[in-house]
Amino acid sequence: MLFLLMSKSKKIPPYIIVAISLLLITLAVNVSMPLFRVYAAAANLTNGQTSLVFAAYILGMLPCYIFLGGLSDRVGRKQVMIIALVSALLATATITIWPNVYALIFARFFQGVGVALGMGAGTAYMSELLFPDGAAASRAAGLASLYTAFGFGGGALATSIALLISFTLLPVTYYLLLIVTLIGLVLLIRLPALKPIGGKMIRLPYFPHGSLPLNTAIGICWGATGIVIAIIPTQLAKFGLTPYAGVCLVLVNWTGGFIQPAIRNMNPLKSVKIGLLLAPVGFALVILGCNYGQIIIVLLGTATIGLAAYGFSFLGGLALVTNLGGIQKARAVAGYMFVGYIGFGIPAVFLGYFADHFGIINALLLFETVIIVLSIWLAFLLIRWRKSSKIDFVLPR
């Protein structure tokens, strides 16, 4: 089988193999998430401790994302992509060999490293492989967005289906992912190694004037997704709905990804404002569904959060921050993503410990209150700044 795929790989465009590598990296991130709370419960971990395990992903990601942003420029795109895919392979192998929460800590760390190194290097690699296509950069960004959206949700969906068929701590999806990742690694190694362009290894994030509300908006939206992944499964387990935790994660990732083509040309400031409305509405639905054990309402809420987190707020904020960054566009985007991932991890940890003392629903209500207040403040701030022209929001067509 491996030999057959290798022989057919000559017919697969090189940039598609890179896109598939990104898919495999992101599949690894959430393939074990439907069992996340089950592993934690088996080890008698509290909600706060479980959230710390979840945050190991951020621990692996942020140092690479901040300090190694120029690594692929220095050593080459292919080399960094190989490291990223090997990190994803190690993560899957770890949780397959030791299907428990302690192994999940190390797996989450390697997943974070894989995503942090792979996203930038993979997008740049595809862009260079597509050259001299005049739209190489936009095509590469679109492919990266599409394949990673499928990856982040696809791993969880596959495992959820497997668990609904037969519940086990070691689902067949782990083994399948190991096999396809090994095949993907072989295909990636066979790609041409392009000459490194050179540059600085360390590129710290840049926060241009006017980016505060945009960065805060993505932090809010991604914070909601982090809580859906880290805390909501515990509440669903009380109603015997554990397998549906993976479906929630799929909706969080896929709804935003699917709507991106339709809203790509929307006024980005309007897009951010819509996201600031959808995030608290979606989270309110999640709370309502979790309180009464109504999975349909929970799923509707997670889908709404996804529209904001990876659709409206994400695309609109990204366009505006890129504009505000001027000649430092790449560093401004790095700052935007940095705040997003901080939002993704930190609130989940705080609310996990809060839930241990005051209950999960009360913790969720606290976060809902915070994001409502922040969303209203940010909306008025954006309106005021736009009208007073204090910030030059040049809206791309």
pLDDT of residue 177: 95
Whether 176 and 85 map to the same domain: the answer is yes
Burial class (CB in 10 A: 0-12, 13-18, 19+), 397: exposed
Least reliable range by pLDDT among 30-44, 131-145, 264-278, 304-318: 131-145
Whether 138 and 241 map to the same domain: the answer is no
Whether 228 and 311 map to the same domain: the answer is yes
124 vs 111: which has the higher pLDDT: 111
Give pTM, 2 decimals: 0.80
The answer to whether residue 396 is domain-embedded is no
Whether 53 and 122 map to the same domain: the answer is yes
Cβ atoms of 340 and 311 within 8 Å: the answer is no
Which of 184, 199, 214 terminates a domain? The answer is 199
pLDDT of residue 365: 94
pLDDT of residue 372: 94
367 vs 329: which has the higher pLDDT: 367
Task: Say how far apart CA 32 and CA 76 lie, in whole Å.
Answer: 31
Least reliable range by pLDDT among 92-106, 318-332, 368-382: 318-332
Pinpoint the alpha helices (H) of 166-307. 172-189, 212-230, 232-237, 245-263, 268-292, 295-307
CATH number at residue 261: 1.20.1250.20
Whether 13 and 34 map to the same domain: the answer is yes
Whether 307 and 365 map to the same domain: the answer is yes
Q: Is a pLDDT exceeding 80 seen at residue 322? A: no
Helix and strand numbers, DSSP H then E, in the chain: 17, 0
Q: Is a pLDDT exceeding 70 seen at residue 190? A: yes
The answer to whether residue 395 is domain-embedded is no
Whether 185 and 243 map to the same domain: the answer is no
Whether 374 and 281 map to the same domain: the answer is yes
- Torsion, CA 328, CA 332, CA 338, CA 344, rounded to 10: -160
Q: Is a pLDDT exceeding 70 seen at residue 133? A: no
Whether 121 and 181 map to the same domain: the answer is yes
Which residue type is seen at 30?
A: N
The answer to whether residue 397 is domain-embedded is no
Which of 199, 224, 253 terminates a domain? The answer is 199
Whether 108 and 228 map to the same domain: the answer is no
**Per-residue CA distances from 224 to 7, 303, 341, 365 (Å):** 44, 12, 11, 12
Task: Say how far apart CA 230 and CA 223 lie, in whole Å.
Answer: 10
pLDDT of residue 2: 46
Residue 126's H or E segment, with its range, is helix 101-130
Q: What is the percentage of the chain residues whose pLDDT exceeds 70?
A: 88
Q: Is a pLDDT exceeding 90 seen at residue 286? A: yes
pLDDT of residue 370: 93
395 vs 259: which has the higher pLDDT: 259
pLDDT of residue 173: 94
The number of distinct structural domains making up the chain is 2
| Mean pLDDT for the chain overall | 83
Q: Tell me the per-residue pLDDT of 9-67, one tens digit each, with 9 for 90 and over.
A: 568 888 899 899 999 999 998 898 888 888 888 888 887 788 888 888 888 888 877 77
The torsion angles phi and psi of 166, rounded to 5 degrees, stand at: -155, 115
pLDDT of residue 212: 85
86 vs 200: which has the higher pLDDT: 86
* 284-289: Cβ within 8 A, 24+ apart: 284/368, 286/228, 286/232, 286/364, 287/361, 287/364, 287/365, 287/368
Task: Say how far apart CA 7 and CA 5 lie, in whole Å.
Answer: 5
Least reliable range by pLDDT among 168-182, 278-292, 319-333: 319-333
Helix 268-292 vs helix 360-388: angle between axes, to the nearest 10 degrees? Answer: 170
Whether 284 and 341 map to the same domain: the answer is yes
Q: Is a pLDDT exceeding 60 seen at residue 128? A: yes
329 vs 6: which has the higher pLDDT: 329
Which of 147, 176, 199 terminates a domain? The answer is 199
Question: Is the link from the previous residue into 132 a cis peptide, with omega within 30 of 0?
Answer: yes
The answer to whether residue 360 is domain-embedded is yes
Q: Is a pLDDT exceeding 80 seen at residue 185? A: yes
Q: How many CB atoms are closer than 10 A to CB 259?
A: 16
316 vs 21: which has the higher pLDDT: 21
Q: Is a pLDDT exceeding 50 seen at residue 397? A: no
Task: Say how far apart CA 151 and CA 395 lie, in whole Å.
Answer: 30
Give the range of the structural domain holding residue 180, as residue numbers without chain letter: 8-199
Q: Is a pLDDT exceeding 70 seen at residue 385? A: no
